[in-house]
Amino acid sequence: MTLTIREKASSDIVATGEPGEKARIFEGNWYFEPDVVNMEHLKVTNRIYTCPYKGQCFWIDYDGPDGSAQNVGWVYRNPKSGYEFIKDRIGFYSRSSAQLLAEKE
């Protein structure tokens, strides 16, 4: 099985990976190693969310040729103890959004 995030308008791949190798399913969301994420239309912001368990993450916005959307992804730079496995991985929702498609193949 491969997890893939695509831009809706162009079908360009934003992130793709096999679970256990370059991707991980955790709490129903998909976390990708940074080297398999195309950041061309993604921007890590200064906006934060604080999870009581995992710690503080930074929201990632999408800004592509056919539109933009806030909070399409996130990244934990310094997660709390026990959650180090998501450190610096780019998280995405496992459901499609206005600008991105989530696919399990």
* 30-54 confidence digits (pLDDT tens): 999 999 999 999 999 999 999 999 9
Say whether domain 3-104 belongs to CATH 2.170.150.40. Answer: yes
Return the pLDDT at 9. Answer: 87
List of residues 6+ apart from 15 with CB closer than 8 A = 3, 4, 5, 23, 30, 32, 36, 37, 38, 90, 92
| Residue 98: how many other CB atoms lie within 10 Å | 11
